[in-house]
Every structure is written in structure tokens, then in C-alpha cells.
Amino acid sequence: MIDQALDFLRVQLDNYLRMKLDPQTSTPFIQLANIAWNDSETAAGSAGDGSDAFISLINIEEDRISKPQENYVRGNGSILYKNPKIYLNLYLLFGVNLSDYTESLKRLSYIIQFFQYRNVFTPLTSPTLPDGIEELIFDLETLTFQDLNNLWGIMGSKYLPSVVYKMRLITISEEFAQGQAGLIMELSVNEKNIQG
């Protein structure tokens, strides 16, 4: 599900950047890439595809507030026991690695502008949203200088013009049931227990 959500986002953002920068080109304007490869031969933009902007997953957290507490589902006169869905927030780094610094800043501005324009995706507003994704919400995350230093240090890369967004409500669920039971429809009272 994570890969499908990120690929959907990549396509949406690439279409927007294409419209803003050059509608005629077939070269992708953004790709999914591991930021740790930024300085290597397999970095975004170095793999020969011409894309110099990238989306990199930098953290995953469970959204415990959205998690239902029940481990069962009612339906068709029975109870189906299964673990509740896991709701995830994904932290995404959008970076630009162009040789022209001014052009990098322009591309980064367009990425921020895209999320100002469309920060919520639902099946109603985006029919190409993958099945199983009910809603994607994007929030800009502001990192302190210490957080930025730690992030880029852990990734083992030099700082690039970038921005971090939190993508909310990715749902992970295995549809296998752990068990099934019938519903209790009525209670019967034993007369011996009442009289005694």
C-alpha cells in the first residue's frame, strides 16, 4: 500500500510540474528515490533518466488516534474476529538536485505550490487513487536546524533544497480473519437459578 500511495503521488506531482515547466517533454520531473543515494552513481538525476527532483520516505509513524479499539466486525448474523487496521503517517522528503541553484529553488517552490493547491486526495477528487486508500492528507512539517542536521547526517548526504511533508492515513490491513462466531440474539434464564 505504501508503494502504491507514493507512486500515485509521484504521478500527480509529475503531471503538475510538467504543466508548469515543460508540457512537451517526456522526461519525468520527479521520481521516487532513496536520499541516501544522493551522492552515489544511482542518485536521483544520475541514473540517466534526467529527473533531478525526488521523493524519499524518511519516517513512518502509527496514527494511534485513528486506530479502532475493537478486534471484531459485525455482519451477516455473525462476528468476525480480526486485528484492527493500522493507520500510518508517512514523512516524505521532497528534494531537488539541479546544477542551477536558482532552478532548484524554482522547482522546490512549485512542489510547495502543488500541496498548497491540493493537500487532500480522495476517490471523489482523484479517481486514480489506488483501491484501499480512503484519503490522503498532506501537512507541511517544519524542521528545526538541529532536526535538519540530524536528518541529513543520518542519510549520509549533503544538504539539498528540500521540504518535508507528512502524508496521513495510509491504511494497512490483512483481511484474514482470526475466527468467527455467531451473534447472541437472546438470553435465556434458567428457572432453577432464579428460585434457588
Going by pLDDT thresholds of 50, 70 and 90, the confidence category of residue 156 is confident
HSE-CB at 129 with a 13 A cutoff on CA atoms is 15
**Cell 486506530 belongs to residue:** 67
User: Residue 122 domain-assigned?
Assistant: yes
Residue type, 85: K
Kindly report the backbone phi and psi dihedral angles of residue 168, in degrees, each rounded to the nearest multiple of 5, phi listed first: -100, 150
Give residue 86's pLDDT.
83
pTM of the model: 0.77
The more confident residue out of 36 and 68 is 36
User: Residue 58 domain-assigned?
Assistant: yes
Mean pLDDT, range 125-150, rounded to an integer: 92
Kindly state the percentage of the chain with pLDDT values over 70: 71
Q: How far apart are the first and last CA of the chain?
A: 59
Give residue 134's pLDDT.
87
User: Residue 191 domain-assigned?
Assistant: no
| Closest residue by Cα to residue 167 from 94, 89, 93, 59 | 89
Range of the domain at 126: 2-64+85-173
Is the model's pLDDT at 16 over the cut of 80?
A: yes
User: Residue 78 domain-assigned?
Assistant: no
Mean pLDDT, range 146-154, rounded to an integer: 92
In this structure, what is the dihedral angle of CA atoms 161, 55, 87, 116, given to the nearest 10 degrees? Answer: 60
Give residue 40's pLDDT.
44
Give residue 26's pLDDT.
87
The more confident residue out of 117 and 158 is 117
Give the separation between CA 99 and CA 151, rounded to whole angstroms. Answer: 22
- Structural domain tally of the chain? 1
Give residue 104's pLDDT.
93
Q: What are the tens digits of pLDDT across the range 167-188?
A: 997 776 555 444 455 555 566 6
User: Residue 69 domain-assigned?
Assistant: no
Q: How many CB atoms lie under 10 A from the CB of residue 62?
A: 12
Query: What DSSP string describes 109-129?
Result: HHHHHHHHH--EE-TTT-TTS
Facing residues of 108 across strands? Answer: none
Going by pLDDT thresholds of 50, 70 and 90, the confidence category of residue 162 is very high
Three-state DSSP at 9 gives helix
User: Residue 187 domain-assigned?
Assistant: no
Q: What are the tens digits of pLDDT across the range 41-76?
A: 444 444 334 468 999 999 999 887 766 666 666 666
User: Residue 185 domain-assigned?
Assistant: no
The more confident residue out of 180 and 112 is 112
* Of the ranges 19-23, 64-68, 191-195, the best mean pLDDT one: 19-23
In this structure, what is the dihedral angle of CA atoms 122, 125, 128, 134, given to the nearest 10 degrees? Answer: 10
Contact 75, 171 (CB under 8 A): no
User: Residue 195 domain-assigned?
Assistant: no
CATH number for the domain that contains residue 145: 3.30.2000
